[in-house]
Amino acid sequence: MPTPQTRSEVNRAILRSQVVLDPLGVWTGGMFGLGLLLLPLAVLKASAGNWPRAIVAGLLGVVLLLLTWRRVARRNRPHLLTSGPDDALHLEPLGRSRAQGQPAEIIPLASIKAYRHWLRLLRFRAFAQYHLRLELVDGRVLHLADQPSPHPNEPSGTVRLDAIAKRLARRAKSGLRRRLPFYETQLARLLLWVSWAVLALGAVLFWLGYDAGLLLLLLGASYWSSYYLGRDSDAGSS
């Protein structure tokens, strides 16, 4: 029979975190919102008799919605992430996901080939949220984040996702790679320069009276704003 001290050591070795699966990203949310804006624009152009522009705006809006609706519909599914004495992470569905019969999952640390861990700061909402992105050897990607707000059924003794991410970095295999946050990569900086060029081209076209200029302004401004918001929010990554 284990002594009280042994039980205490076991309890300290178990970390539980209330997380959400597939949180909605800034870029996905922006593209979904742009798709919603393009549909009424298409209706306005059609009512004015400008069918070519109405068709272009409508098709682009539908494409953006089709590309993003699944991520938007499946965002923020609540789960309980547990890191125990064994070399594995346990992901258990909660709430509606459990009611729908979604099974729990055991993720051996040896099956994780790379990870990315960062802190997203939403200063305008005074909210901080840790994110953990796991790349598995079978090709799957799991994106986890802290529960956006306190949940009434949150288990007692849960910790922030940051604690489990730090334990993962200590206990995982030596070949595990840590990815840089997207906004620190060369691709993100290259796309930033492209967005500046798109903004300049859109301004010129809009000044010349072409409606396509407004669309380019929206696209360029969407990436420009998401880049700087993302860079500021990921400043706390570790």
**What's the pLDDT score for residue 134?**
93
| pTM summary value | 0.64
What average pLDDT does the chain have?
Answer: 78
Q: H or E segment at 91?
A: strand 88-93
**What's the pLDDT score for residue 82?**
92
**What's the pLDDT score for residue 7?**
46
Nearest to 23 by CA among 180, 204, 233, 188: 233
**What's the pLDDT score for residue 1?**
44
The two tokens of residue 157 are 């003794």
Mean pLDDT of 207-218: 79
For residue 238, name the pLDDT band (cuts at 50, 70, 90): very low
pLDDT digits (tens, 9 = 90+) for 89-142: 999 988 766 656 678 899 998 889 888 888 877 655 556 788 899 999 898 989
C-beta of residue 128 within 8 angstroms of C-beta of residue 235: no
**What's the pLDDT score for residue 53?**
78
**What's the pLDDT score for residue 235?**
47
C-beta of residue 220 within 8 angstroms of C-beta of residue 195: yes
For residue 169, name the pLDDT band (cuts at 50, 70, 90): confident
pLDDT digits (tens, 9 = 90+) for 39-96: 888 888 888 888 887 888 888 888 888 888 877 777 778 889 999 888 889 999 887 6
Q: Given 3-state DSSP classes, what are the helix, strand and coil percentages for the chain, each rounded to the nearest 5?
A: 55, 20, 25
